[in-house]
Amino acid sequence: MQGRRLATTDEIIAIVSPDSDEALASLTEWTEERGLGLATVAVGDDIGDVYDESRATLGVTLGGDGTFLEGVKTFSPRDIPQLGVNTGTLAFLARVEPEDLEDALDETLRGRASVDSRQQVHVEAPGVDATGINDVMVQQVPPENPIDRKVTRLDVYADDEYVGEFEGTGLAVSTPTGSTGISLSANGPVHYPVNNHTLQIVPLHTHKLGVRPIVVSPETELRIVTQEQASLLVDGGRAHTILTEGDEITATGADKLAHIVRTSYDDHFFTAITKKLGWDVRDVDVPAAKRREPLSAASKKSITADEETDTVERALTVATEAAKAAGEPLRELHGQVESIDVKTDKSDIVTEADHQADRIITTVIRNEFPNHAVFSEEGARQRGTDSDYTWVIDPLDGTGNFAHGNPNYSISVALVEDGEPVMGVVYVPETDELFSGIAGNGAWRDGDPIETTDRDQLDESMLISGYDPDGTFLSHFYQASRGVRRLGSAALNLCYLASGSADAVWEHDTYPWDIAAGLVIAREAGATLTDQTGDPYEFDFDTDDRTPLLGSNGSLHPALLEHLEDGLPARSQ
């Protein structure tokens, strides 16, 4: 999940532990001042009565790690991102202190927080079907007589491959988030938890020299078979049972990840465990570049001033993050389209997709560039001030493809300075491809430079047709070239021209939101862009007149224009 998506939060659901009254009062005041909805539930209570899946929701836990784990149990099945506020004592997971609550929330709702995807573990055993964020512990059952034998034996398999016999106190199957202390006590590894999707098997106080910790992928199916009685606990006892000889436990990575919000007010993972475990390795002067601390107001002002010295490069970063954040709900809704038979219901999904993507992008831009104008296909045509900069947005280019389950749709975000596009980002949610360009600096696909082809023979070239109402371009060029393709997204057409996947592009008519970003990317990759007569293509916000576009790799352009002369109608005035 992209942190920029959090900027569109409508409502907060808080899971509140006892003794969190002060933090709750602060949270209540903060939400009231911003007109956000706030619902509170006690630890262990269901949120079904207060959760509305149609509203963008942020989960907040007020308490220690126990409350945080209850939040994961409640929020992760619903894909709700979660921010943990530590009102307890010893907390490794909830790492925002109450005094930083409001600042952390401000950062989150400005879209400046990050979201970690944490691996969970799913376990099934006799009497247990549970999901945990920390660990599954299989241990010996304490004997009634404390001097009796305190050992259990377990056979372990990974995808039906026999790992071996674990004899000792037991073992832990843990995620990178959990069991740090247990792993350390058993000479196991410490796993950095951020976006680390693995599971680890740690033998606990083994009586066998050859047994070592093992790291596996979340897709691995782990089977643990008891040779005698054993105790099974998930996340410290949130699910618990006593197993008998021959019982089988199955553990694997859970389908649902936990989405954990991290702000600059959180301690880093290693800082947190250092302080909480008393390692004292940070009892030295650590350079500011190596630690993550909340920025002072003066520092924030200084950074903002530095960023403003290069608006276009900063805009590229913001546009990239906004487009990727908007791509998430588009992918989610796109996956629902083909399962719907009723045309009106499909139309509702497309409308919702447009709305959600547009809202995310425009909210992020307004947060970062409040003085810039915004020109969006889905919103009002012109919004903002008298700034020299205008953002041009098409949150869903290729709605026809989207409505039919076709993956050829894109998100287009451009920055226009004094009427000329100077920065463009085109993101393809289904393939996770990102095309970008800055006027005068180049064009890239996923960070790698791109350029057009150098073919100059029409009969060797692949062409792309955009809007071609009566098929004139298709019929006139199909036999003369290697083929004419129609993808259904003008922004993608220009990006494929820029990256060499096609040699030329034709659009009978264009709209500014469709092509603003693609123009920058194509030009920076070396494309020639004209109208059908060969005059340079001029970007214009005016959509009253037909505006055709012919784009090519440059060397092919003369042949295209010559072939167009007797094949296409004259441009209307």
- For residue 534, the number of C-alpha atoms closer than 13 Å in the C-beta half-sphere is 11
514 is in an annotated binding site: yes
DSSP secondary structure of 485-501: E--S-HHHHHHHHHTTS
109 is in an annotated binding site: no
DSSP label of 193: -
Is residue 393 within 8 A of residue 412, CB to CB? The reply is yes
341 is in an annotated binding site: no
DSSP secondary structure of 119-149: --EEEEETTEEEEESSEEEEEPPPPSSTTS-
Distance CA 296, CA 525 (A): 41
Amino acid letter, 265? Y
150 is in an annotated binding site: yes
Tabulate helix, strand, coil % of the chain (nearest 5).
30, 30, 40
Tokens representing residue 387 in the block: 């700034």
417 is in an annotated binding site: no
65 is in an annotated binding site: yes
Q: Can you list the positions of beta strands (E) in 456-516?
A: 462-465, 483-485, 504-507
Amino acid letter, 501? S
DSSP secondary structure of 301-327: HHHHHHHHTTHHHHHHHHHHHHHHHHH
Minimal CA–CA distance to 506: which of 529, 483, 523, 539?
A: 529
Minimal CA–CA distance to 549: which of 531, 527, 569?
A: 531
At 300 the three-state DSSP class reads helix
330 is in an annotated binding site: no
Distance CA 398, CA 486 (A): 11
535 is in an annotated binding site: no
Task: Give residue 35's region: left, alpha or beta (phi > 0; psi -120 to 50).
Answer: left
Tokens representing residue 227 in the block: 């040779």
Is residue 512 within 8 A of residue 545, CB to CB? The reply is no
Report the catalytic residues: 65
Minimal CA–CA distance to 465: which of 449, 481, 442?
A: 481
Is residue 66 within 8 A of residue 88, CB to CB? The reply is yes
Is residue 154 within 8 A of residue 170, CB to CB? The reply is yes
Q: Which residues are annotated as a binding site for Mg(2+)?
A: 377, 394, 396-397, 514
Q: Which residues are annotated as a binding site?
A: 65-66, 134-135, 150, 377, 394, 396-397, 514
Q: Which residues are annotated as a binding site for NAD(+)?
A: 65-66, 134-135, 150
